[in-house]
């Protein structure tokens, strides 16, 4: 008699990691902890064990791409992604994940989008606004764009979550989320909740989606006002 076939499920963990090489790391960890998700910085190959998801934060994509190469982290991200780890790239992180970059060679290439770096101009052309993104939140989501890229095109299998004027601001495939803005620099927890659920993790339901203590006039602070 044949013995029952044992099928193994993909390696899924319980924490979300934040790539800790450069950029907005502690802001993402703070947001994840507010919604009760176990979160930790990820720097070395052993740090990737047991992660359900990984956030590639905003910062400077050329610098991040160099560090990924120097520390040989690129192949680990690709392997873990293939094993089931979900990915979310914010701003520079979205640039790293894009399948194609206008006028430059792509980096990880894990989502079929075309991205133009610094699509709005210089740092001085940074701005905030808000938008209704029904899949993410029933309330308008505050958005912070800092020397942001534009997503110009999304390929097959990529859902557009938010389009503003001539560009795509947020999109996703089944395993990868990309936002060209920074939810971690606002009082909104909606995107972090959404990413946690994409990773199969349950976040705290007793937190308001928009932290009432958040100082909405600043994008530089991340700590709660006590």
* Distance of closest approach, residue 96 Cβ to ligand GLN, in angstroms: 8
* Distance of closest approach, residue 97 Cβ to ligand GLN, in angstroms: 12
Indicate the residue among 52 and 95 with the shorter CB distance to ligand GLN. Answer: 95
* Distance of closest approach, residue 58 Cβ to ligand GLN, in angstroms: 3
* Distance of closest approach, residue 57 Cβ to ligand GLN, in angstroms: 8
Residue-by-residue DSSP string for 115-176: EETTTT-SGGG-EEEEE--TTT-SSPEEEEESS--EEEEE-TT-EEEEEETTEEEEEE-SSE
172 given a catalytic annotation? no
- Contact residues for ligand GLN (CB under 6 A)? 58-61, 91-92, 95, 117-118, 146-147
Say if residues 189 and 209 touch (Cβ distance below 8 Å). Answer: yes
Distance CA 207, CA 14 (A): 20
Say if residues 54 and 86 touch (Cβ distance below 8 Å). Answer: yes
91 given a catalytic annotation? yes
Of the residues 91, 107, 172, 192, only one is catalytic, namely 91
74 given a catalytic annotation? no
Indicate the residue among 38 and 118 with the shorter CB distance to ligand GLN. Answer: 118
Indicate the residue among 17 and 58 with the shorter CB distance to ligand GLN. Answer: 58
Indicate the residue among 96 and 196 with the shorter CB distance to ligand GLN. Answer: 96
Q: How many other CB atoms are there within 10 angstroms of residue 134's CB atom?
A: 8
Of the residues 31, 107, 182, 192, only one is catalytic, namely 182
Can you list the alpha helix ranges (DSSP code H) found in 21-101? 25-34, 61-70, 74-82, 92-97
Indicate the residue among 9 and 123 with the shorter CB distance to ligand GLN. Answer: 123
DSSP reduced 3-state for 21:
coil
Distance CA 110, CA 56 (A): 12
Assigned token pair, 104: 């430059």
* Distance of closest approach, residue 119 Cβ to ligand GLN, in angstroms: 9
**Catalytic residue list:** 91, 182, 184
């Amino acid at each position: 008699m044949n013995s029952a076939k044992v099928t193994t499920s993909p390696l899924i963990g319980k924490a979300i990691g934040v790539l800790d090489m450069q950029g907005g790391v502690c802001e993402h960890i703070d947001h994840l902890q507010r919604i009760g998700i176990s979160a930790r910085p990820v720097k070395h190959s052993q740090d990737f064990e047991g992660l359900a998801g990984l956030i590639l934060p905003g910062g400077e994509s050329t610098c991040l791409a160099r560090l990924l190469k120097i520390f040989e982290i690129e192949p680990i991200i690709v392997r873990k992604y293939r094993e089931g780890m979900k990915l979310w790239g914010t701003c520079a992180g979205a640039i790293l994940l894009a399948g194609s970059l206008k006028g430059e060679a792509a980096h990880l290439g894990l989502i079929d989008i075309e991205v133009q770096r610094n699509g709005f101009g210089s740092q001085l052309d940074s701005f905030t606004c808000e938008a209704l993104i029904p899949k993410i939140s029933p309330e308008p989501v505050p958005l912070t764009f800092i020397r942001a890229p534009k997503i110009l095109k999304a390929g097959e299998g990529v859902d557009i979550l938010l389009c503003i004027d001539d560009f795509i601001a947020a999109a996703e495939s089944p395993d990868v989320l990309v936002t060209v803005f920074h939810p971690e620099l606002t009082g909104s927890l909606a995107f972090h909740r959404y990413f946690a659920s994409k990773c199969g993790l349950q976040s705290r339901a007793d937190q308001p989606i928009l932290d009432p203590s958040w100082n909405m006039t600043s994008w530089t602070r991340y700590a709660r006002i006590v």
